[in-house]
Amino acid sequence: MKAQDLLAKATRAATSAKMLLDAGDADGACNRAYYAMFDAARAALLASSAPIEPEIARTHSGLISAFSLNLVKTGRVPLELGKTLNKAEELRLVADYKGDPVEREDAIWVVSQAQTFVHAMENTFLPKSPKQ
């Protein structure tokens, strides 16, 4: 999958997260917000030509580690966005597997952060060319 396609998928997931949040589904919103960030991070890694094996970036832990090592620790992505991705994964695990519902405040935060994260990856790694 190309970086542009992953970014489009990330954008759709961020939109879905907002819709789920608005419908009162905090767990579903956390899931979609995390996957928006996951796909945006994959897009950023691809667009940056980071030297990673494709199968590593397909697992959650592999992608987060590669993102941190190749983009956050090199200063190409702010540390705060790296921390946001980690926190979003934690919330997704609670939403999907732990059985406890995610607090609405946490869902509001992660949906907002997903939109910020996706835009940051797009602006940094896949900027639109200026119209002439």
Cα 44 to Cα 28, 40, 80, 101: the distances in Å are 24, 6, 16, 31
pLDDT at position 24? 95
Residue 103 belongs to domain spanning: 3-125
pLDDT at position 4? 93
Q: How would DSSP label each residue in 16-78?
A: HHHHHHHTT-HHHHHHHHHHHHHHHHHHHHHHHT----TTGGGSHHHHHHHHIIIIITTTSS-
94 domain-assigned: yes
CATH number of the domain bearing residue 114: 1.20.120.330
pLDDT at position 15? 97
Look at residue 45 and tell me whether its pLDDT is greater than 80: yes
46 domain-assigned: yes
pTM for this one? Answer: 0.91
57 domain-assigned: yes
- State the average pLDDT over residues 95-114: 92
Mean pLDDT of the chain: 91
pLDDT at position 57? 67
131 domain-assigned: no
pLDDT at position 107? 95
118 domain-assigned: yes
132 domain-assigned: no
What torsion, rounded to 10 degrees, do the Cα atoms 60, 62, 67, 70 define? 180
Secondary structure tally for the chain: helices H, strands E = 5, 0
Beta-carbon contacts of residue 67 (< 8 Å; ≥ 6 apart) = 41, 44, 45, 77, 82, 85
Could you give the number of structural domains in the chain?
1
pLDDT at position 132? 42
Instruction: Tell me which of 128 and 32 has the higher pLDDT.
Output: 32
